[in-house]
């Protein structure tokens, strides 16, 4: 029997599907973090997560959850690190959203106070490293339990990211700009958002990269705690490089009468995956999770949700849309799970996909699991091509065929945004989608 101190990991055990070089580099990173950070509970989380990753490995296409999302290219990464690149503040200004907001900047995952705005009143920020003991304990106890390997990777590299606490109604949106330079082939950020009872936050999660960025994995996890009666609005613009990989988890725990609304706009990444896992823990909580993705070239775009209706009288609404062009692939996977006792659950999940390219493809898997008897749940998924009647109607009014396509496709994609109350935010996301459509 071997024993190891809290600060060391076993470098010799492989991680399924990763190269030895990549495993070793990961182990070196985990060790370096644990050497620099003497807090034993944090060391224990990293070590436990790394060990769990060694036991679990990364999935293949045989794994049901990864059937349609190829990881081969992602897992070929060696997690190299290159010389740091300087980032010009003016470049960051170009991707600033056109509405009043407080922006926090993360370059290759590292928070940059000097490039960031002052926080609005009611918001406080601390490094994720300083997360409380109870949370560390919770992480450590659940590393072995059904955690996704990319989530485990995030815990093994627990270091960068922030805890953002909200203790009053905050009107000014907080933007988290994640900017990738390519200096690091593995960016791992973990944020926590804690919204106190009766308060409100709009969080804009933005992912961008330098023009000529090399291949990298952007692994981002956000955990949000939405207390009684709190409102959490989340807007995500994912515009990572077309060669990069984007793996994201958004865990949201909702208490009584809380409200969570999310919109995800997917544009970037050779392979991208955005997973929203919502736990409706308190009664009368509302969730509204929508997305729109535009996949072109050979992109693989995966949007998935897991909605746990764990409590009675909760409502969930979802509209997910994907436009897939060229030989790109779209994946939608959505699960509504209704626990015994979650009576009067009202869950609706709709997925619509538009295939533009002759080789474009979408795999959709909407699912319901219901263990309560007095619920109203439905799901639907439809994949089709541009409606020839709509196209002809526009052309019969003198509108050019290509412009008609653009009008109809843009409308299809932006429909899920109509629920976004803020017109400037809506316009910003619409513009991002239209820019890519007009490519």
Partner 1 sequence: MLLEVKNLHAQVAEEDKEILKGIDLTVNPGEVHAIMGPNGSGKSTFANVLAGREDYEVTEGQITFDGEDLLEMEPEDRARAGLFLAFQYPVEIPGVSNKLFLFTAVNAVREARGLPPLAMDEFEALAAEKMKMLKMRPDMLERSVNVGFSGGEKKRNDMFQMAMLEPKLAVMDETDSGLDIDALKVVADGVNRLRDGQRSFIVVTHYQRLLDYIKPDYVHVLYNGRIVKSGGFELAQELEEKGYDDIIRQFSE
Site residues (vs partner 1, CB under 8 A): 387-390, 392-401, 403-404, 407-408, 410-412, 414-415, 418
Quote the least distance from Cβ 365 to partner 1, whole Å.
Answer: 25
Considering beta carbons, is residue 360 or 408 the nearer one to partner 1?
A: 408
CA 383/CA 380 separation, integer angstroms: 10
Best CA proximity match to 352, nearest among 378, 377, 324? 324
Q: By C-beta, is 84 or 424 nearer to partner 1?
A: 424
Q: How far is the CB of 271 from partner 1 (least distance, A)?
A: 28
6 vs 16: CA distance, rounded Å: 23
Q: Which one, of 127, 124, 149, 151, lies nearest residue 139 by Cα?
A: 151
Closest to partner 1 by CB, 217 vs 404, is: 404
Minimal distance in Å, beta carbon 390 to partner 1?
5
Pick 224 or 319: Cβ nearer partner 1: 319
413 φ, ψ to 5°?
-75, -35
Identity of the residue, 72 or 418, whose beta carbon is nearer to partner 1 in the bound complex: 418
In the sheet with 102-107, reading across from the earlier edge strand, the strands are 110-111, 102-107, 174-180, 200-209, 231-239, 259-266, 286-295, 315-324, 346-355, 376-384
* 39 vs 426, beta carbon nearer partner 1: 426
CB closer to partner 1 out of 1 and 396: 396
Q: Which helix (H) or strand (E) holds 45?
A: helix 40-56
C-beta of 356 vs 404, nearer to partner 1: 404
| C-beta of 107 vs 433, nearer to partner 1 | 433
For residues 343 and 314, what is the distance between their CA atoms, to the nearest angstrom? 9
CB 387, min distance to partner 1, A = 8
φ and ψ of 54, to 5 deg: -65, -35
For residues 180 and 208, the answer to whether their CB atoms sit within 8 Å is yes
CB of 75 to partner 1, least distance (A): 38
Give dist(CA 276, CA 282) in Å, integer: 18
**Could you tell me which residues come within 8 angstroms of residue 91 by beta carbon, excluding any fewer than 6 positions away?**
210
Whole-angstrom Cα distance, residue 309 to residue 298?
36
Rounded distance between C-alpha atoms, residue 34 and residue 157, angstroms: 9
Nearest distance from C-beta of residue 416 to partner 1, angstroms: 10
Name the minimum Å distance from CB 173 to partner 1: 24
| Cα 382 to Cα 114: distance, rounded to the nearest angstrom | 47
Q: Which is nearer to partner 1, 254 or 290 (CB)?
A: 290
Report CA Rg, the chain.
21
| Comparison of 73 and 386: residue with beta carbon closer to partner 1 | 386
Distance between CA atoms of residues 226 and 162, nearest Å: 16
* Minimum distance, C-beta of residue 402 to partner 1, in the bound complex (Å): 10
Q: How far is the CB of 380 from partner 1 (least distance, A)?
A: 15
The nearest distance, CB 238 to partner 1, in angstroms, is: 21
Least distance from C-beta 405 to partner 1, angstroms? Answer: 12
For residues 382 and 359, what is the distance between their CA atoms, to the nearest angstrom? 17
Distance CA 45, CA 137 (A): 8
The residue behind tokens 């955690």 is: 147
For the bound state, the minimum distance from the C-beta of residue 392 to partner 1, rounded and expressed in Å, comes to 6
381 within 8 A of 366, measured Cβ to Cβ: yes
Strand blocks (E) in 120-244 = 123-127, 162-166, 174-180, 186-195, 200-209, 217-226, 231-239
Q: Which pairing describes strands 259-266 and 200-209: parallel, antiparallel, or unpaired?
A: unpaired
Q: Is the CB of 242 or the CB of 434 nearer to partner 1?
A: 434
Cα-to-chain-centroid distance, residue 169: 24
């Amino acid at each position: 029997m071997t024993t190891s101190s809290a600060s060391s990991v076993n470098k010799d055990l492989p991680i399924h599907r990763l190269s030895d070089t990549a495993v070793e580099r990961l182990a070196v990173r985990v060790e370096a973090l644990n050497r620099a950070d003497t807090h034993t509970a944090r060391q224990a989380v990293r070590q436990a997560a790394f060990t769990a990753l060694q036991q679990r490995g990364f999935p293949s296409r045989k794994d049901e959850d990864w059937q349609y999302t190829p990881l081969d290219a992602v897992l070929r990464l060696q997690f190299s690190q290159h010389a740091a690149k300087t980032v010009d503040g003016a470049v960051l200004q170009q991707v600033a959203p056109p509405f009043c907001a407080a922006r926090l900047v993360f370059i290759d995952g590292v928070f940059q106070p000097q490039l960031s705005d002052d926080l609005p009143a009611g918001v406080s920020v601390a490094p994720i490293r300083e997360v409380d003991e109870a949370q560390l304990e919770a992480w450590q106890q659940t590393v072995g339990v059904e955690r996704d390997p990319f989530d485990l990777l995030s815990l093994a590299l627990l270091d960068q990211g922030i805890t953002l606490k909200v203790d009053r109604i905050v009107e000014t949106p907080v933007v988290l700009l994640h900017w990738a330079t390519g200096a690091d082939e593995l960016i791992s950020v973990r944020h926590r958002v804690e919204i106190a009872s009766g308060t409100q936050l709009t969080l804009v999660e933005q992912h961008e990269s330098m023009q000529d960025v090399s291949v990298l994995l952007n692994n981002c996890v956000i955990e949000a705690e939405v207390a009684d009666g709190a409102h959490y609005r989340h807007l995500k613009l994912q515009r990572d490089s077309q060669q990069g990989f984007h793996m994201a988890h958004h865990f949201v725990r909702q208490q009584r009468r809380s409200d969570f609304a999310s919109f995800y706009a997917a544009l970037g990444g050779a392979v991208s995956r955005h997973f929203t896992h919502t736990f409706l823990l308190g009664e009368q909580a509302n969730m509204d999770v929508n997305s729109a993705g535009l996949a072109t070239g050979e992109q693989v775009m995966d949007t998935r949700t897991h909605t746990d209706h764990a409590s009675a009288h909760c409502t969930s609404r979802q509209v997910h849309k994907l436009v897939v062009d060229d030989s790109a692939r779209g994946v939608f996977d959505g699960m509504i799970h209704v626990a015994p006792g979650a009576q009067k659950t009202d869950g609706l999940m709709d997925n619509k996909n538009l295939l533009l390219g002759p080789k474009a493809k979408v795999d959709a898997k909407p699912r319901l699991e219901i263990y309560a008897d007095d619920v109203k749940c439905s799901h639907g998924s439809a994949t089709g091509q541009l409606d020839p009647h709509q196209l002809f109607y526009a052309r019969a009014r003198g509108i050019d065929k290509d412009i008609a396509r653009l009008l109809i496709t843009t409308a299809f994609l932006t429909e899920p945004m109509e629920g976004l109350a803020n017109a400037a935010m809506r316009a910003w996301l619409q513009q991002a989608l239209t820019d890519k459509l007009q490519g």
